[in-house]
Amino acid sequence: MLHLGERDRVAIGEGLDDVRLGIPSQQVELVRSPADELLAELDVPLKEVQPGLFVADGPHACAKLVASACEAGVRVISLTSVDDVVLREGNRVAGVVVNWSAVDALPRQITYVDPVALRAETVIDATGHDAAVARRLADRGLLELPGFSAMWVERSEDEVVQRTGEVHRGLVVTGMAVATVHGLPRMGPTFGAMLLSGRRAAQVVAEKRAVTAVSS
């Protein structure tokens, strides 16, 4: 079992990285204010096309976000899928069980690849509408997972940020996973809420650590 150090992270996500598909419509990212401030902090070029609505080059924005995360200490583990969660006392989430993604596409007879458990104080589910980590808890009857509802962009943009937080002890959800866990409208064509939700998730974890530090 691997134990992640204080500054190490496991990042599993989707959304902005869809630009890698090369689909023309996915090369431009729409961001609503005030999320543009986050991209501006990273020196991502922005163009205001309507009051409060900004356009950014998708690959450029994605590259800047990934680079800044890595510089902050994030470890990115590629080609990895979540098989299960690590549980401790009181069903507290204490990590994830991961495996090589290609295992699911290969015949069972030749995939003798044991999964690896990664320990963490807090797990952040940023796996999009799949809500892969939360779904493992739902499979065990530990969490209700209603799934996202039909698209309603304006409502979803606000509620995804507002509902970002800890949904089970040790598990914080962010981004589109919030919609799946809370039954909110699915996300629309703008990415502002995902950026703001990510920042809110980081704040939640920081607050949890502060409380733990005071009580210990």
Give CA–CA dist 170/122, Å, rounded. 5
Angle at 56 between CA 50 and CA 59, to 5 degrees: 160
Distance of CA 129 to the CA centre of its chain: 10
From start to end of the chain, where are the E strands? 2-3, 10-11, 28-32, 46-50, 53-57, 75-76, 80-88, 92-100, 116-119, 123-125, 165-168, 171-173
Give CA–CA dist 118/20, Å, rounded. 27
Q: Name the residue among 187, 132, 136, 197 with its Cα closest to residue 163.
A: 197
User: 117 is written with which tokens?
Assistant: 């458990």
2-205: CATH topology: FAD/NAD(P)-binding domain (3.50.50)
Check residue 16 and give its pLDDT: 54
Sequence ranges of the domains in the chain:
2-205
* pTM for the predicted model, two decimal places: 0.84
H helix or E strand, kind and range, residue 94: strand 92-100
Check residue 21 and give its pLDDT: 43
Task: DSSP letter for 42, please.
Answer: T
pLDDT of the chain, 216 residues: tens digit per residue: 444 444 444 444 445 544 444 445 557 888 999 999 999 999 999 999 999 999 999 889 999 999 999 999 998 888 889 999 999 999 999 999 998 888 877 777 777 778 899 999 999 999 999 999 999 999 999 999 999 999 988 888 899 999 999 999 999 999 999 999 999 998 776 789 999 999 999 999 999 988 877 776
